[in-house]
Amino acid sequence: MLDTWFSSWLWPFSTLGWPDETEDLKRYYPGSLLVSAWDILFFWVARMIMAGLEFLNEIPFTDVLIHGVLRDEKRRKLSKSLGNSPDPMELFDRYGVDGTRFSLISIAPEGRDIIFSEKKMEIGRNFCNKMWNAARLLLMYVKEGEKFERNIDKNPYLEDKWIIMKFNKTLKKVEENLEKFDYPEVAKSIYHFFWSHYCDFYLESIKDRLKNEKERKNALNISLLIMENFLKLSHPLVPFITEEIWHKLPFEKKEESISISEWPEEFNFNFENEEKEMDFLIDIISLVREIKGIYKIPLKEEINVYIKEEKSERFKKILKNLSYGNIVLKKPDRNFLGYMIDGEEIIIEFPEKIDVEREKERIKDEISELERIIENIDKKLRNPDFLMKAPQKVITETENKKKKFEEKLKALKRYV
Amino acid sequence: MELPKKYNPKEVESKWEKFWIERNLYQAGKDKDKKTFVIMMPPPNVTGMLHMGHVLNNTLQDMYARYKRMKGYDVLWLPGIDHAGIATQNVVEKELKKEGKSRFDLGREKFVERVYKWKEKYEDIIISQLRRLGCSCDWTRYRFTMDEKLSKAVLTAFVKLYEKGSIYKGKYIVNWCPRCETTLSDEEVEREEIEGKLYYIKYKIENEDEFITVATTRPETMLGDTAVAYHPSDQRYKKFKGKYAILPFIGRKLPIIEDEAVDPDFGTGAVKITPSHDPADFEIAKKHSLEFVTIMDTKGIINENGGEFKGLDRFEAREIIVKKLKEMGQLDKIEDYKINIGKCYRCDTIIEPYLSEQWFLKMKEMAKKAYEAGEKGEVKFHPS
């Protein structure tokens, strides 16, 4: 009887017909990539290299991607006998295949072992739902039988130019990270682009255009085009949902599947200034929203914002639509607070009924209360008795609580 | 135009899974002008269904296959499964056991039939699971490591290596699993440290009233002793040089020898030499032209060389031998001692170092070439 490895070490070429000199052997040997967990690196991978050199004088692959082994939160290897290994098919039922795939790629630290917990599978499921909802929103505005061309309007809006730039950058990052096998970064870039740029700000800022019949087509054209390109970019990670949505997009398609369509290219534009402008605008929107939270101003209440430099009409409109902020030309002389964003001075004028000075006092009180709480937690965490006796779970929870309070404290301090 | 309000993964997934297969979208070689990109799927063992490790492994492969395909490559992602040898035999045997049968009850032919039935069942499951995961492999080139053509490759490789002189036959100490009744490679043995005992046994010196005490963690193997050894610098035993010790139970005369390999700090500094059941003793025995006595059969049962203990399991034999030595006053003492044991990675049985005639393949040259290729960057590891 032969060692098991005596057949598997020949795998890269026995599969192609060796020892016969087949067409396949000529065309596909040596191969390109082998993906393997580190635990069988010497069992198998090293032996395949030896066999390749021995029988064909060539190494069977140029790159070996080594990934970690899945472990549970107690760092035990997932195994059937320990009962800590979920049935993948059940995970597919609960989180979708794409959801599971995306989560696994996101949580797998390059090469190192992966701490698996079912909770983490929600990352991918939420991502897929977000993708679905965004596509659904856009498609609601597309009329029956309406078709679009894949070109960028001669006069894209500020937000269009911005999302084009963000897409270009994401594409580049995804390609770079795929080429250097940093797959968790691939997932991160895709997720960040879609969630923080495309959904949170881009779709929000074109809503007024979608609702306006004159501007609807132009807004849809660009948003759908970016959507299509984004689907292609994500397809290798989440093949099913991207295929489904791609078929629904109102573009002519020459391929029968997104999986054999062409990989996207960068849009040949340079809107660097507009990208900066919109980034700046987003910072202001976030500032206004946050201030409203801290000073307990209703989200939909208008608030005056003074910026020294003149801004475009679109800039003003988006600020208003997304944060109920009004750009004013006159610097307020009372009841205001000033901030610096990107070296520019932003002044927020507060509504009459809010006494900024009194509010500041209130916030200061809140700050000292928080500081007191944090100090108490600190004392506890320094107490050897507590550290010895408390279960690890309680200690971790206490540490997390502290972190949360510290974050809140940091946010508050920015606003006084 | 409208999408359903809620995303329904199951519906969407099964639709496209079918579509991709029916359209045969991922068959390689459709456009020979394109550059190739080739991934060979690590073939899952046919021992069972896919686990999370397979899901991660194949998701990463699929990600690259899909990316490169869209990038304009002629992608070949070749899928397959591995027979996995004894591992598969084991799972089938476990299944038989539930029916109260062993592979010997079935006989060779029926057993092989049973293994193939298992293979077909799990092959179907594995393929359907890979398809559900969305794997964009070329199913027209699907392979099994025991396909006729792949078996031909195995035979060819063996003959080529044999003709080159790289394959030779020899009697060596191997890792032997008495349950699987087969040899295991070093990597197939899982090492672990367990709480064991160190037994101090007194061997009488021939024609004298003196004893030499040896320490061992495996008293049952004494039945195969063919010498007693100590370190040449060890003054305690110089007086026994050239004399003989008498092996209890068996009565064999054991030459008392000196060897550098003996650790004077272990136990009493004197050790029993059991060439057929210990790799270090095997080496010593070859150097001193000692006798080789194998005392177990392939199932770990004491054989006729074990005298009165013939027919006992190796661990039963240990207990009885220790008890008898005590009665005979030849057991000096027992100490707690941490010992390193090896277990069969497939069935967890404690392996037996065992003298066996086997075929071996000279790997040194091959390993060197592979290592050099890695050093030169002809194959890149990520992360490196």
* Interface contact A105-B1, CB threshold 8 A: no
Q: Best of B59, B71, B83, B343 to disrupt the A interface by mutation (most A CBs within 10 Å)?
A: B59
Cβ distance B54 to A128 less than 8 Å, yes or no, reads no
Q: Is A8 an interface residue toward B (CB < 8 Å)?
A: yes
CATH number at residue A225: 1.10.730.10
Does A82 lie at the interface with B, CB-CB under 8 angstroms? no
DSSP alpha helices (H): ranges in A32-147?
Answer: 46-56, 88-95, 97-107, 122-140
pLDDT band for position A153 (50/70/90)? Answer: low
B203-225 confidence digits (pLDDT tens): 999 999 999 999 999 999 999 99
The mean pLDDT value for A306-310 works out to 87
Structure tokens at B149: 């053509």
Same domain, A140 and A208: yes
Per the CB < 8 Å rule, is B370 touching A46? yes
Q: Could you list the residue range(s) of the whole structural domain that residue A45 is in?
A: 5-113
DSSP 3-state percent helix, strand, coil across chain B (nearest 5): 40, 25, 35
- Answer whether residue A39 is part of any domain: yes
Distance from CA of B312 to the nearest CA of A (A): 28
Q: What are the structure tokens assigned to A305, written together?
A: 């914002």
Domains of chain A: total: 4
From chain A, pick out residues whose CB is under 8 angstroms from the CB of B382.
Answer: 63-66, 110-111, 180-181
In a domain, A236, yes or no: yes
Distance CA A324, CA A302 (A): 5
Average pLDDT score over residue span B9-32: 96
What is the domain-level CATH number for residue A19? 3.40.50.620
Residues A151, A224 share a domain: yes
Question: Could you tell me if A256 lies within 8 Å of chain B, comparing CB atoms?
Answer: yes
Residue with tokens 């000279």: B362
Which segments of chain B belong to CATH 3.90.740.10?
187-359
Q: pLDDT averaged over chain A? A: 91
- Are A72 and A196 in a shared domain? no
Q: Compute the C-alpha angle A252/A257/A259, nearest 5°.
A: 125
Q: Which of A94, A247, A107, A228 is nearest to A167 (CA)?
A: A228
Q: Give contacts of A 354-393 with B, CB under 8 A.
A: none
Contact B13 A240 (CB under 8 A): yes
Work out the pLDDT band at B152, boundaries 50, 70, 90. Answer: very high
Q: Indicate if A403 and A386 belong to the same structural domain.
A: yes
Position B85 scores a pLDDT of 82
Give the model's pLDDT for residue B374: 87
Please give the torsion angle defined by the CA atoms of residues B258, B262, B265 and B266, in that order, rounded to the nearest 10 degrees.
Answer: -120
Classify residue A247: in a domain, yes or no: yes
Q: Which residue stretches of A193-349 are H helix? A: 204-211, 213-234, 239-248, 272-294, 313-323
Instruction: Say if the Cβ atoms of B19 and A248 lie within 8 Å.
Output: no
- Condensed to tens digits (0 to 9), the pLDDT of residues B72-121 reads 999 999 999 999 887 888 889 888 989 999 888 999 999 999 999 999 99
Task: Please indicate, yes or no, if residue A267 is contained in any of the structural domains.
Answer: no
Yes or no, beta carbons of B187 and A240 under 8 Å apart: no
User: Do A177 and A101 reside in the same domain of the chain?
Assistant: no
Predicted local confidence at residue B205, as pLDDT? 94
Contacts of B145 in chain A (CB under 8 A): 7-8, 11, 14
Examine residue A74 and state whether it is found in any structural domain, yes or no: yes
- Whether residue A264 is contained in a domain is answered as no
Beta bridge partners of A347: A306, A338
Q: Which residue of chain A has the CA closest to B56?
A: A104
Same domain? A124 vs A252:
yes
Domain match, A102 and A158 both: no
Residues B187-359: name the CATH superfamily: Valyl/Leucyl/Isoleucyl-tRNA synthetase, editing domain (3.90.740.10)
Q: Is residue B1 scored above 70 in pLDDT?
A: no
Nearest CA in chain B to A232: B70
In-domain check, residue A184: yes
A contact test, residue of B67, B151, B169, B186 with most A CBs within 10 A: B67
Q: Does residue A266 lie in a domain region?
A: no
Residues of chain A above pLDDT 70, percent: 99
Using a CB-CB cut-off of 8 Å, the residues of chain B touching A184 are none
Residues B357 and B170 sit within 8 Å (Cβ to Cβ):
yes
Q: What percentage of chain B reaches a pLDDT higher than 90?
A: 83
Residue among A16, A54, A88 whose CB faces B50 most closely: A88
**In a shared domain, residues A240 and A311:** no
Distance (Å) from the alpha carbon of A212 to chain B's nearest alpha carbon: 18
Q: Which residues of A touch B363 (CB under 8 A)?
A: 50
Residues 92-111 of A with CB under 8 A from B: 92-93, 95-101, 104-105, 108, 110-111
* Cross-chain Cβ contact A4/B85 below 8 Å: yes
Please check whether residue A53 touches B, CB under 8 A: yes
Closest chain A C-alpha to B344 CA, distance in angstroms: 14
Last residue of a domain, one of A258, A290, A310: A258
* Residues A160 and A239 grouped into a single domain: yes
| A215 interfacial to chain B (CB closer than 8 Å) | no
* Model pLDDT, residue A128: 98
**Per-residue pLDDT for A271 more than 70?**
yes
| Parallel/antiparallel/unpaired status of strands B352-361 and B167-177 | antiparallel
Interface contact A148, partner B, CB < 8 A: no
* Same domain flag for A31 and A142: no
Total CB pairs under 8 A between chain A and B: 292
Do both A94 and A127 map to the same domain? Answer: no
CB distance B370–A49 less than 8 Å? yes
Sequence ranges of chain B with CATH classification 3.40.50.620? 9-144
Assess whether A314 and A281 both reside in one domain: yes
**CATH class of the domain at B9-144:** alpha beta
Asked if the Cβ–Cβ distance from A259 to B66 is below 8 Å, we say: yes
Q: Which residues contact A65 (CB under 8 A, 6 or more apart)?
A: A33, A34, A35, A36, A181, B60, B64, B382
